[in-house]
Amino acid sequence: MPKRCPLARENEYFSNEIRQLLYGQGRNIYRIIFTVLEEENICTVRILHIRHAAQQTLGEEDKNQV
Confidence (pLDDT) at 1 = 87
**Best CA proximity match to 58, nearest among 35, 37, 38, 28:** 35
If you ran DSSP here, which 8-state letter would residue 17 be given?
A: -
pLDDT, tens only, 57-66: 877 655 555 5
| Across 7-12, average pLDDT | 90
Burial class (CB in 10 A: 0-12, 13-18, 19+), 31: buried
Confidence (pLDDT) at 53 = 87
Q: How far apart are alpha carbons 20 and 30 in whole angstroms?
A: 10
Q: Three-state DSSP class for 61?
A: helix
What confidence tier does 10 reach under pLDDT thresholds 50, 70, 90? confident
pLDDT, tens only, 29-62: 999 999 999 888 899 999 999 999 888 787 765 5
